[in-house]
Amino acid sequence: MPAYVIVEADVLDEEVGLEYWRLAEPSIRRFGGRYLVATVPEAVEGAWPADRRAVVLEFPDLERIREWYDSPEYSAARAVRKSGVEVRMIFADGVRG
């Protein structure tokens, strides 16, 4: 069953954010993931900080997400991210359709 990584990101340094993406994106693909959403969303109800980004990744299952998250490739991306991007991240199972 598909599983998802849902992220709220506050990019404090655009260069760091770009370098993080350059490292993270191929690691996501390597573990069978793909971007479904990567944007500054439009708030419709409630509040969403104007400069916060929303990212949703889809993976084949939670096991692949955990393998990706703990991989050397993504660990390198996380190390870069610490100096200029703050994130809140959750893993979530999808629903059977």
The CATH number given to 3-93 is 3.30.70.100
Q: How many degrees, rounded to 5, is the angle at CA 93 between CA 42 and CA 18?
A: 50
Look at residue 81 in the predicted model and tell me its pLDDT: 96
Look at residue 47 in the predicted model and tell me its pLDDT: 85
Quick check: 97 pLDDT over 80?
no
**pTM of this structure:** 0.92
Look at residue 29 in the predicted model and tell me its pLDDT: 98
pLDDT digits (tens, 9 = 90+) for 32-73: 999 999 999 998 998 888 889 999 999 999 999 999 999 999
12 alpha-carbon distance from chain centroid: 16
